[in-house]
Amino acid sequence: MSQKKLVKQLMKKLDKLESDREKLIDKLAKALDKLEEKEATKKIGAKKKVVKKETVKKAPTKKVPRKKPVVKKKPSTPNPAAESQS
């Protein structure tokens, strides 16, 4: 075979390989997008579940009335300054 024919054949093979490579890259990109979408939906779902679980776990606590300490009152004495003003 002449060199021109060989070069022509090799160029055809190269073109075919390049097109196959591009097709595979496109397929991989689509598959990756699908996986990312699934993971995103799983993460969103997981976040919602976590929030729901937290709200369910938080049960309202019963409020117990506090006992007030007994304070001894001193007998009230009139203020001498208040009497002198009147």
pLDDT per position as a tens digit, 1-36: 799 999 999 999 999 999 999 999 999 999 999 999
- What pLDDT is recorded for position 16? 96
The pair of three-digit structure tokens given for residue 75, joined into one six-digit string: 């007998």
Residue-range domain boundaries for the chain: 1-55
pLDDT at 85 over 60: no
Terminal CA-CA length for the chain: 133
- What pLDDT is recorded for position 64? 67
- Environment class of residue 54 by beta-carbon count within 10 Å: exposed (0-12), middle (13-18) or buried (19+)? exposed
Whether the predicted model's global pTM rises above the 0.75 cut: no
Which of the given ranges, 17-21, 33-37, 40-44, 54-58, has the highest pLDDT on average? 17-21
- What pLDDT is recorded for position 38? 86
